[in-house]
Amino acid sequence: MEIWQHTVISAIITAVLWPFFSWWSLLVLVGGVLIDSDHVLWYYYRRGDFNLRKVYSYCRAISDNKDTKEYKKAVLIFHSYEALVVLAVLSFFIPQFVLLLIGVIEHMLSDFLYTLYKWRGPYSLVVFRKSAIVFLYDFFTKIL
């Protein structure tokens, strides 16, 4: 799903929540959009390059070509069950994190519905089969 689509959806939810949470509702926008920064980490891990244009082209090619083989290889740490658990736990101690969690859940639900419709399958669920913790260990041992 395109970043602008996530931005629009998150902005709508932010606007709906604004009367209740004021500035804090912007955390929905943060959670719904910045979650995709893990694509940059994944691209760097695979290609050793932080060029954002190349990251965008790479992700766009996977989506446009419905490249399920390459998609299934991706380990997106912010799209993981560990990230959801961490945010849920933090929400008990920092209530505003519930809004961040709403943004992340909205993003993941949008990705799920997008791949279900466009690719005719629930491919976005493959991210839950991979551990973000194992990836982070591999990532940091590679760059250090």
67-116, pLDDT tens digit by residue?
A: 778 887 888 889 888 899 999 999 999 999 999 999 999 999 998 888 88
Residue 19, helix vs strand vs coil = helix
Q: DSSP assignment of 74-143, as one string? A: ---GGGSHHHHHHHHHHHHHSTTHHHHHHHHHHHHHHHHHHHHHHSSS-GGGGGGGS-HHHHHHHHHHHH
What is the per-residue pLDDT for 128?
A: 63
Residue 126 has pLDDT above 80, yes or no: no
What is the per-residue pLDDT for 135?
A: 77
What is the per-residue pLDDT for 27?
A: 98
Rg of the Cα atoms in the chain: 16
Give the span between the Cα atoms of 28 and 18, in whole angstroms: 10
* Closest by Cα among 71, 75, 90 to 31: 90
Between 11-15, 55-59, 114-118, the lowest mean confidence (pLDDT) is in 114-118
What is the per-residue pLDDT for 34?
A: 95
Q: Which residue has the tokens 């519930």?
A: 98
Residue 138 has pLDDT above 90, yes or no: no
If one compares 46 and 128, the residue with the highest pLDDT of the two is 46
If one compares 88 and 134, the residue with the highest pLDDT of the two is 88
